[in-house]
């Protein structure tokens, strides 16, 4: 529920009531610390990650729907672990339609997920968590794509010798 104002005077009165009085606050003692502080996700957090190859680790895999069409979509959140832009994230989204099934199947196979039926996908999302993937970020016109180049599969620790 929103607020409804009946007059400009009432709006000003409420604005004055909620405007903090900062006249007595001295922030200068924090100036040096503020200059040394880094952005939460690293120094390059505001700078867009440029096109190129990046070593990443799968931080999250979700199955959802596209906001506009409601089509199913598989989304990977990839944390960059290579030196340039370390800590930043890239998002790879694969909308699932009949036309994109071959691309989806390839993405899943690269991640070591081999399905006999697509309906089994929700049971296998956790298998992709933590994978190390070398990706290519490529922008053409206004569209950005993330391509899986090489996936490092972790071998089980319990192999008998």
Q: Residue 117's pLDDT is what?
A: 94
What does the pLDDT average to over 44-65? 88
The pTM score is: 0.67
Asked whether residue 44 is assigned to any structural domain, the reply reads no
Judge whether residue 9 has pLDDT over 80. no
Which CATH number goes with the domain that contains 131? Answer: 2.40.50
Q: Residue 130's pLDDT is what?
A: 95
Asked whether residue 47 is assigned to any structural domain, the reply reads no
- What's the CA gap between 57 and 89, in Å, rounded? 9
- What's the CA gap between 26 and 7, in Å, rounded? 35
For 110-161, write each residue's pLDDT tens digit.
999 999 999 999 999 999 999 999 999 999 998 999 999 999 876 555 555 4
- What's the CA gap between 161 and 142, in Å, rounded? 52
- What's the CA gap between 64 and 62, in Å, rounded? 6
* Residue-range definition of the domain harbouring residue 91: 52-152
Asked whether residue 115 is assigned to any structural domain, the reply reads yes
Asked whether residue 18 is assigned to any structural domain, the reply reads no
Asked whether residue 6 is assigned to any structural domain, the reply reads no
Asked whether residue 64 is assigned to any structural domain, the reply reads yes
Pick from 47, 51, 129, 44: nearest CA to 87: 44
Asked whether residue 69 is assigned to any structural domain, the reply reads yes
Q: What's the domain count of the chain? A: 1
- Most distant pair of Cα atoms in the chain: their distance: 83
């Amino acid at each position: 529920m929103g607020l409804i104002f009946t007059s400009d005077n009432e709006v000003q009165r409420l604005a004055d009531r909620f405007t903090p009085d900062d006249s007595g606050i001295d922030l200068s003692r924090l100036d040096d610390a503020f200059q040394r502080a880094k952005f939460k996700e690293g120094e390059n957090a505001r700078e867009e990650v440029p096109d190129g190859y990046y070593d990443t680790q799968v931080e999250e895999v979700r199955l959802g729907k596209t906001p506009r069409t409601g089509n199913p979509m598989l989304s990977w959140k990839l944390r960059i672990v290579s030196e340039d832009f370390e800590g930043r994230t890239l998002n790879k989204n694969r909308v699932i339609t009949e036309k994109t099934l071959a691309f989806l199947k390839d993405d899943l196979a690269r991640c070591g997920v081999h399905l006999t039926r697509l309906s089994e996908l929700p049971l296998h999302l956790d298998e992709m968590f933590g994978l190390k993937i070398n990706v290519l970020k490529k922008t053409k016109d206004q569209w950005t794509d993330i391509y899986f180049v090489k996936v490092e599969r972790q071998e089980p620790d319990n192999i008998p010798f």
